[in-house]
Amino acid sequence: MHSLDSIIVVPPHCPGPGHQLRLRPGEKLAFGRAVEGLAIDHEGVSRHAGEIAAQGAFWILSNLSRTQTYVVENPEGAGEHIKVGPGRLDAPVPFEFARVVLPAAGELLSFEVWAPRHDHLPRHSDALDGTETLPAFSLDPAKRYFAVLAALCEPRLRGAPHAPVPTVEQVVERLAPGWPAASRATVQWNIDYLAVKLRLKPPAEQAGPGPRLNGKKEALASLALRFDLVREDDLAVLPCAVRQEAGVRQEAGR
Protein backbone atom coordinates (compact mmCIF):
# COMPACT_ATOMS: atom_id res chain seq x y z
CA MET A 1 0.00 0.00 0.00
CA HIS A 2 1.43 3.36 -0.95
CA SER A 3 1.80 5.57 2.07
CA LEU A 4 -0.64 8.13 0.71
CA ASP A 5 -3.41 5.67 -0.18
CA SER A 6 -6.35 5.98 2.15
CA ILE A 7 -9.15 3.85 0.67
CA ILE A 8 -9.11 0.24 -0.50
CA VAL A 9 -11.80 -1.16 -2.83
CA VAL A 10 -12.20 -4.93 -2.93
CA PRO A 11 -13.95 -6.05 -6.16
CA PRO A 12 -16.56 -8.83 -6.08
CA HIS A 13 -14.98 -12.29 -5.94
CA CYS A 14 -11.58 -10.70 -5.42
CA PRO A 15 -8.94 -13.42 -5.74
CA GLY A 16 -6.32 -11.67 -3.58
CA PRO A 17 -4.76 -8.41 -2.35
CA GLY A 18 -3.13 -7.90 -5.75
CA HIS A 19 -6.56 -7.25 -7.26
CA GLN A 20 -7.64 -4.70 -4.69
CA LEU A 21 -7.85 -1.11 -5.86
CA ARG A 22 -6.25 1.65 -3.82
CA LEU A 23 -7.26 5.31 -3.81
CA ARG A 24 -5.42 8.36 -2.54
CA PRO A 25 -7.30 11.33 -1.14
CA GLY A 26 -8.97 13.10 -4.06
CA GLU A 27 -8.86 10.06 -6.36
CA LYS A 28 -12.06 8.69 -7.89
CA LEU A 29 -13.08 5.24 -9.04
CA ALA A 30 -16.04 4.65 -11.34
CA PHE A 31 -18.00 1.40 -11.15
CA GLY A 32 -20.52 -0.12 -13.56
CA ARG A 33 -20.97 -2.42 -16.49
CA ALA A 34 -18.96 -0.33 -18.96
CA VAL A 35 -16.39 1.72 -17.07
CA GLU A 36 -12.66 1.99 -16.77
CA GLY A 37 -12.23 1.27 -13.12
CA LEU A 38 -14.30 -1.24 -11.24
CA ALA A 39 -16.08 -3.22 -13.95
CA ILE A 40 -19.14 -5.11 -12.68
CA ASP A 41 -20.03 -7.55 -15.36
CA HIS A 42 -23.75 -8.04 -14.91
CA GLU A 43 -26.62 -7.18 -17.24
CA GLY A 44 -28.65 -5.71 -14.39
CA VAL A 45 -26.06 -3.06 -13.53
CA SER A 46 -26.03 0.37 -15.20
CA ARG A 47 -23.22 1.08 -17.63
CA HIS A 48 -22.15 3.95 -15.38
CA ALA A 49 -23.52 2.86 -12.06
CA GLY A 50 -21.67 5.11 -9.70
CA GLU A 51 -18.47 6.60 -8.41
CA ILE A 52 -16.37 6.32 -5.27
CA ALA A 53 -14.05 9.15 -4.26
CA ALA A 54 -11.50 9.12 -1.43
CA GLN A 55 -11.75 12.19 0.79
CA GLY A 56 -8.96 12.27 3.32
CA ALA A 57 -9.56 9.28 5.58
CA PHE A 58 -13.16 8.61 4.47
CA TRP A 59 -14.93 8.24 1.15
CA ILE A 60 -18.01 9.46 -0.69
CA LEU A 61 -20.40 7.59 -2.96
CA SER A 62 -22.26 8.97 -5.98
CA ASN A 63 -25.23 6.98 -7.27
CA LEU A 64 -25.39 7.61 -11.03
CA SER A 65 -28.31 5.26 -11.56
CA ARG A 66 -31.69 6.86 -12.35
CA THR A 67 -33.80 4.19 -10.71
CA GLN A 68 -31.93 2.12 -8.16
CA THR A 69 -31.12 2.74 -4.53
CA TYR A 70 -27.75 1.49 -3.29
CA VAL A 71 -27.31 0.26 0.23
CA VAL A 72 -24.03 0.62 2.10
CA GLU A 73 -23.82 -1.85 4.98
CA ASN A 74 -21.48 -1.93 7.94
CA PRO A 75 -20.63 -5.66 8.14
CA GLU A 76 -19.67 -5.30 11.81
CA GLY A 77 -22.56 -3.00 12.61
CA ALA A 78 -25.35 -5.47 13.40
CA GLY A 79 -27.48 -4.34 10.50
CA GLU A 80 -26.28 -0.74 10.47
CA HIS A 81 -26.52 0.69 6.96
CA ILE A 82 -27.16 3.81 4.89
CA LYS A 83 -29.23 4.18 1.73
CA VAL A 84 -28.02 6.25 -1.18
CA GLY A 85 -30.92 7.07 -3.49
CA PRO A 86 -30.86 7.36 -7.30
CA GLY A 87 -28.97 10.42 -8.49
CA ARG A 88 -27.53 11.24 -5.06
CA LEU A 89 -24.01 12.65 -5.42
CA ASP A 90 -21.14 12.63 -2.93
CA ALA A 91 -22.87 10.87 -0.03
CA PRO A 92 -20.32 10.50 2.80
CA VAL A 93 -19.88 7.00 4.20
CA PRO A 94 -18.87 6.86 7.87
CA PHE A 95 -17.93 3.17 8.10
CA GLU A 96 -14.39 1.81 8.34
CA PHE A 97 -15.62 -1.34 6.60
CA ALA A 98 -18.44 -1.05 4.09
CA ARG A 99 -20.25 -3.40 1.77
CA VAL A 100 -21.84 -1.62 -1.18
CA VAL A 101 -24.91 -3.56 -2.30
CA LEU A 102 -26.31 -3.02 -5.80
CA PRO A 103 -29.66 -4.50 -6.82
CA ALA A 104 -29.31 -6.11 -10.27
CA ALA A 105 -32.26 -7.77 -11.94
CA GLY A 106 -33.47 -9.50 -8.81
CA GLU A 107 -29.97 -10.31 -7.60
CA LEU A 108 -27.86 -8.43 -5.08
CA LEU A 109 -24.27 -7.74 -6.08
CA SER A 110 -21.75 -6.34 -3.65
CA PHE A 111 -18.21 -5.15 -3.28
CA GLU A 112 -16.30 -3.90 -0.25
CA VAL A 113 -14.65 -0.61 0.57
CA TRP A 114 -12.24 -0.23 3.49
CA ALA A 115 -11.16 3.00 5.10
CA PRO A 116 -8.21 1.91 7.27
CA ARG A 117 -7.02 5.49 7.95
CA HIS A 118 -9.99 6.50 10.08
CA ASP A 119 -8.84 8.64 12.98
CA HIS A 120 -9.73 7.91 16.59
CA LEU A 121 -9.14 10.05 19.62
CA PRO A 122 -5.88 8.85 21.16
CA ARG A 123 -6.40 7.19 24.48
CA HIS A 124 -5.56 9.35 27.48
CA SER A 125 -5.50 12.48 25.37
CA ASP A 126 -8.05 14.86 23.99
CA ALA A 127 -5.53 16.48 21.70
CA LEU A 128 -7.06 17.61 18.45
CA ASP A 129 -4.99 20.67 17.70
CA GLY A 130 -2.23 18.92 15.80
CA THR A 131 0.62 20.01 18.08
CA GLU A 132 0.64 16.99 20.40
CA THR A 133 3.02 14.09 19.81
CA LEU A 134 0.69 11.23 18.95
CA PRO A 135 1.01 7.55 18.10
CA ALA A 136 1.14 6.86 14.38
CA PHE A 137 -1.66 4.32 14.72
CA SER A 138 -5.33 4.76 15.28
CA LEU A 139 -7.30 1.70 16.34
CA ASP A 140 -10.99 1.30 17.12
CA PRO A 141 -11.33 -0.91 20.21
CA ALA A 142 -14.93 -1.73 19.23
CA LYS A 143 -13.84 -3.52 16.04
CA ARG A 144 -13.22 -7.24 15.61
CA TYR A 145 -9.64 -6.62 14.53
CA PHE A 146 -8.93 -5.13 17.93
CA ALA A 147 -10.16 -8.29 19.67
CA VAL A 148 -7.99 -10.36 17.33
CA LEU A 149 -4.97 -8.18 18.11
CA ALA A 150 -5.70 -8.40 21.85
CA ALA A 151 -5.91 -12.20 21.59
CA LEU A 152 -2.54 -12.28 19.80
CA CYS A 153 -0.96 -10.16 22.55
CA GLU A 154 -2.73 -11.81 25.48
CA PRO A 155 -0.10 -14.38 26.58
CA ARG A 156 2.66 -11.78 26.63
CA LEU A 157 0.47 -9.20 28.38
CA ARG A 158 -0.43 -11.73 31.06
CA GLY A 159 3.16 -11.91 32.17
CA ALA A 160 4.83 -14.36 29.80
CA PRO A 161 6.96 -11.96 27.73
CA HIS A 162 8.45 -14.71 25.57
CA ALA A 163 5.32 -16.79 25.10
CA PRO A 164 4.66 -17.86 21.51
CA VAL A 165 1.97 -15.92 19.69
CA PRO A 166 -1.30 -17.94 19.61
CA THR A 167 -2.10 -19.85 16.44
CA VAL A 168 -5.09 -18.86 14.31
CA GLU A 169 -7.00 -21.85 15.74
CA GLN A 170 -6.26 -20.71 19.29
CA VAL A 171 -7.49 -17.21 18.47
CA VAL A 172 -10.71 -18.65 17.01
CA GLU A 173 -11.26 -20.67 20.17
CA ARG A 174 -10.42 -17.69 22.38
CA LEU A 175 -12.87 -15.36 20.64
CA ALA A 176 -15.68 -17.83 19.88
CA PRO A 177 -17.73 -17.23 23.08
CA GLY A 178 -18.25 -13.58 22.13
CA TRP A 179 -18.09 -14.02 18.37
CA PRO A 180 -19.91 -17.16 17.29
CA ALA A 181 -19.08 -16.63 13.61
CA ALA A 182 -15.35 -16.67 14.31
CA SER A 183 -13.55 -19.07 12.02
CA ARG A 184 -10.08 -19.61 10.63
CA ALA A 185 -11.03 -17.53 7.60
CA THR A 186 -12.53 -14.60 9.52
CA VAL A 187 -9.62 -14.45 11.97
CA GLN A 188 -7.09 -14.65 9.13
CA TRP A 189 -9.01 -11.90 7.32
CA ASN A 190 -8.66 -9.65 10.38
CA ILE A 191 -4.95 -10.45 10.66
CA ASP A 192 -4.44 -9.47 7.02
CA TYR A 193 -6.48 -6.33 7.55
CA LEU A 194 -4.41 -5.40 10.63
CA ALA A 195 -1.23 -5.72 8.58
CA VAL A 196 -2.70 -3.18 6.14
CA LYS A 197 -4.04 -0.93 8.83
CA LEU A 198 -0.85 -0.89 10.90
CA ARG A 199 1.14 -0.42 7.69
CA LEU A 200 3.28 -3.37 8.55
CA LYS A 201 6.31 -3.35 6.39
CA PRO A 202 7.10 -6.74 4.87
CA PRO A 203 10.50 -7.73 6.28
CA ALA A 204 13.30 -6.91 3.86
CA GLU A 205 14.74 -9.84 1.94
CA GLN A 206 18.31 -9.09 2.92
CA ALA A 207 17.74 -8.08 6.51
CA GLY A 208 20.81 -8.06 8.69
CA PRO A 209 21.87 -10.91 10.94
CA GLY A 210 19.95 -11.71 14.08
CA PRO A 211 16.56 -13.18 14.81
CA ARG A 212 13.77 -12.14 12.49
CA LEU A 213 10.07 -12.31 12.98
CA ASN A 214 8.83 -14.52 10.24
CA GLY A 215 5.08 -14.31 10.50
CA LYS A 216 2.51 -11.59 10.24
CA LYS A 217 1.02 -12.57 13.59
CA GLU A 218 4.37 -12.30 15.35
CA ALA A 219 5.10 -8.96 13.71
CA LEU A 220 1.68 -7.61 14.65
CA ALA A 221 1.96 -8.73 18.26
CA SER A 222 5.44 -7.31 18.70
CA LEU A 223 4.48 -4.00 17.09
CA ALA A 224 1.34 -3.74 19.21
CA LEU A 225 3.26 -4.46 22.40
CA ARG A 226 6.16 -2.21 21.54
CA PHE A 227 3.93 0.80 21.04
CA ASP A 228 1.34 -0.18 23.65
CA LEU A 229 -1.45 -0.41 21.10
CA VAL A 230 -2.90 -3.15 23.29
CA ARG A 231 -2.41 -2.99 27.03
CA GLU A 232 -3.36 -5.18 29.91
CA ASP A 233 -6.64 -3.37 30.55
CA ASP A 234 -7.59 -3.83 26.89
CA LEU A 235 -7.82 -7.57 27.48
CA ALA A 236 -11.33 -6.76 28.74
CA VAL A 237 -12.44 -6.89 25.09
CA LEU A 238 -11.82 -10.64 25.18
CA PRO A 239 -14.81 -12.81 26.15
CA CYS A 240 -13.75 -14.02 29.59
CA ALA A 241 -10.73 -14.54 31.79
CA VAL A 242 -8.32 -17.28 30.87
CA ARG A 243 -9.74 -20.55 32.13
CA GLN A 244 -6.44 -21.79 33.51
CA GLU A 245 -6.09 -18.73 35.68
CA ALA A 246 -9.64 -19.03 36.94
CA GLY A 247 -8.91 -22.63 37.86
CA VAL A 248 -5.82 -21.66 39.79
CA ARG A 249 -7.74 -19.02 41.66
CA GLN A 250 -10.48 -21.50 42.59
CA GLU A 251 -7.97 -23.95 43.95
CA ALA A 252 -6.29 -21.27 45.97
CA GLY A 253 -9.63 -20.31 47.46
CA ARG A 254 -10.39 -23.77 48.75
Partner 1 sequence: MTAQPYAVTVPRGYRVGSWEVREPLASGSFGSVYGARRTGDGAPRRAALKFLPTGTHTPRQLNHLRELAEREVELLSRLRAPRLIRMYEALTVDDPEHPELDGATVLVLEEARTSLDALLDSGVPAQAPELLAEVCEGLAQLHDAGWVHGDLKPANVLVMADGSVRLGDFSMAAELEGTHAYAPAFSTPDYTPPELVWPEVGERGRQIRASADIWAFGVLAHVVLTGSYPLPGGTAAVRRDATVRYALGEEELRLSPQLPDGWRALVRDCLAATHQERSAHQARALLGRIRRLTGAARTRRPLLPSRRKPSRRAGWAALSSAAVFAAAATVYALWPEPSVTYGYHRCPAGEVCFFSDVNGNGEMCHWAGDDDDWLRGRTRCAWSGDRPVKSVFNNNQERTKEISVAYWRGPGFVPTGVEPERDSERAGCTSVNQQGNLKGDYKLRSHSWIPRCDAEDAHPGPTVSESNL
Interface residues with partner 1 (CB under 8 A) are 3-4, 6, 24-26, 55-57, 117, 119, 123-137, 198-201, 203-204, 212-213, 219, 222-223, 225-228, 231-232
Least CB distance to partner 1 at residue 232 (A): 7
What distance separates the 2 farthest-apart alpha carbons in the chain? 72
Nearer to partner 1, 172 or 191 (CB): 191
Residue 206 C-beta-side C-alpha neighbours within 13 Å: 0
- Minimum distance from CB of 26 to partner 1 (Å)? 5
**Cβ neighbours for 27, distance < 8 A, ≥ 6 positions apart:** 7, 53, 54
- Of all helices (H) and strands (E), which one includes residue 232? none
Question: In the bound complex, what is the minimum distance in angstroms from residue 245's beta carbon to partner 1?
Answer: 18
Buried b (16+ CB within 10 A) or exposed e, 204-221: eeeeeeeeeeeebbebbb
Q: Find the shortest distance in angstroms from Cβ 98 to partner 1.
A: 19
Residue with smaller CB distance to partner 1, 34 or 127 = 127
Nearer to partner 1, 91 or 225 (CB): 225
Our CB check for partner 1 shows the closer of 56 and 85 to be 56
Q: Which is nearer to partner 1, 207 or 252 (CB)?
A: 207
Q: Shortest Cβ distance from residue 129 to partner 1 (Å)?
A: 6
* 38-39 and 28-32 beta bridge pairing: parallel
Rg (CA), the chain: 21
